[in-house]
Structure 1
Amino acid sequence: MTNTAPQQSTAGHLLRWLIVIMMVYLLLVAVAMIGSGFKWASGGAEGAKQIFAFASNPIMGLVMGAFATALVQSSSTVTSVIVGLVAGGLPVATAIPMIMGANLGTTVTNTLVSMGHIGKKKEFRRAFSAATVHDFFNLMAVAIFLPLEIFTGYLSKTSEWLSTHLVGGESMSMKGFDFIKPLTKPLVTVFKDMFESLPGIWGGVALALLGLAFIFVSIIVLGKMLKVLMVGRAKMILHRAIGHGPITGITSGTLMTIAVQSSSTSTSLIVPLAGNGLFKLKEIYPFTLGANIGTCVTALLAATAVEGTHAIFALQIALVHLVFNVSAVIVIYGIPQLRVIPMITARRFAQMASRRKWIVFAYVAGLFFVLPAALIAITA
């Protein structure tokens, strides 16, 4: 009788890890399905360029990425979808602002979490500043690197160089990751055959939509399982690492986000701790930057599922996400004059918001939903 509980606990633990493995596999299959379905529906790369012509404006690509992420509350989901679209022929240049937008959109989650402290003025001020320092850092990153990309191609050229050296050039495609293809292709083929009878482009549309649904399911379930398995340990990392300097803070934010596969989860855990006064804003700040870097792992994982002529571009756009976030940390946090801007702005904004609560609701609704929706509607 005494051994029953430990045995059940071990069995439950193993079952959760099995589900994690299954969800990672489902994510790989889903990305391959989106790429395949998009190519099928668009008639190849040329069709893809026409379909996404409306997003060729970098500002609109940025807005689309931010709006999509704010709606689904997951940058991991949106970046995985973007990887799948690039695999289907979406130009990398079009996808880069969308990746930046996904970084912006993901900050809405911890801002919403901070509103749980809205009844207590001092707590709310601390929590809201801890949440919005992430927002203002990401806005600064876009303000610096979007114009830099437009005028110099910094992100596209750097990621192209990295992807070429990782897999040996475009002609070799993703040969280094060929072990993924035999695992995912059989199931992708099964679903492709299911929609073969649909007329025209609708088979490809159905395949891509089913892949999109699978991404949602895999990211949600993966997040829930990893929270149960890892959040307790992640909190231990959090308490040990924060307050031991910026390098340790960035590293712990990266590792924790990789562990729970969600920057929204890791940054949302930190906001209540800031609200309760356990950590100061200058200690929270580096941790959120690490979360930005850690969330790039999902897109890199998704890129390994891609096959065909566009596989190298799928890896490239995943690397764009990584290069963008690492570069932003180096430039903004590395230069003292720039480093303080997000903290000062977040503190002042939190002071205003704690006195006038309507500002909080106007900020969240306006920046993340109303403004992007209006811009998309105007240009549609």
Structure 2
Amino acid sequence: MKKIVMGGLIAATAVAQNASAVDFKAGDWTVGVGGIVNAYYTQVSCSGDAVGGLALATKGLGCGGQDDRSTIGNGLLPNGLVTSASSRIGGYDVKALIGMYNATATDSAISQNSGIDVRQAYFTFGNAEMGTIKLGRDNGLFGAAAIFGDMTLIGAGAPTQATQRGRVTLGHIGAGYSYVGYYGQIAYSSPKTSGVGVDVALVSPVTDTPILTPSLYSTKTSPQLQGQLTWSAGGAKAWLGAKTQKFESATAGVNDFTMSAVEVGASYNEGALGLLVNVQGGKGLGVLSDADQGETTARNYFVQGTYKATEKLKVGLGYGISKNSDNTAGTGGLKSNANVTLGAYYALNSVITLVGEVGQTRSKGFNGGEARMNGAALGGIIFF
């Protein structure tokens, strides 16, 4: 099995918005510096049958090739340093942002840990009348509401060992929702009217990244398109999204196809209670990235409930499942990945949250086989 290279496979984060950044004035500009650091002890145990494809609960992926394994590394978020500069110039609100990210755990105590993921590098301009235009690299629209609303964003979720060493855990990526992805893009966000907003993005097209097998498709002149309609009022939010891209064959005997996917979801937060539900479906959704299973049609379901037991302690339960509709060649025989996570999140102070989670990931094959990964995570995260 190939070594998994999770180049873009880190969960999205709104560090620039959530971190308690240090701001200072420099002429007409407000310059901000902030970031995030986290570490979790994770312990996993894998059992059951061999399941093909991107089966997240198997010994190969879930436990990194072992029956049992432990790691002290990042959770769903990497470590990050985010810098930004904003101003009001010529009637426009302008902003530029660069976010650089790095992993905690590696398989070596002496090798340089110098891999830097410049996941965000963009600028925006706009005002209350025209909305906002964004140019550069940032997270996509499709799947953003699900992953940003996932309680395991500040924890670990599925502590998949094949990705945590050198990168991050998966939360409910591939077992509840598709990864939000980071793309070069030109995007527009409309002003909100009666709580309704529209976001559209022209996205640089991406190739398939099947991880376990060679790439089958290339990108040429057709960009990816993403769009989202949102509504909010009080503690309630709802969203409807879609994305599409043509994948052109680079392999003899493989046909071109067009990825087409839709998403609908809602969340509600009132007092101590928080609820979230999200559904995705379409062709080419993939498990971990766009079209990593080729033109396979899939459906993703994610539900979550949280309760703030005290002023500092929040507990929650989340369940997600990603199901392939047909046993196409791209699935490798994988029928579904599912994950359930029970978590407790304790706010030590305004910047540090201590986290404890337990959960189980299950992968099923079209042949009836089933693999299980039991996992636990304990650690913490700081936003500064």
Structure 1 or 2: more strand by fraction? 2
Is TM more than 0.5 here?
no
TM-score, with structure 1 as normaliser = 0.25
Structure 1 or 2: more helix by fraction? 1
TM-score, with structure 2 as normaliser = 0.25
More RCO (CA 8 Å, sep 6+): 1
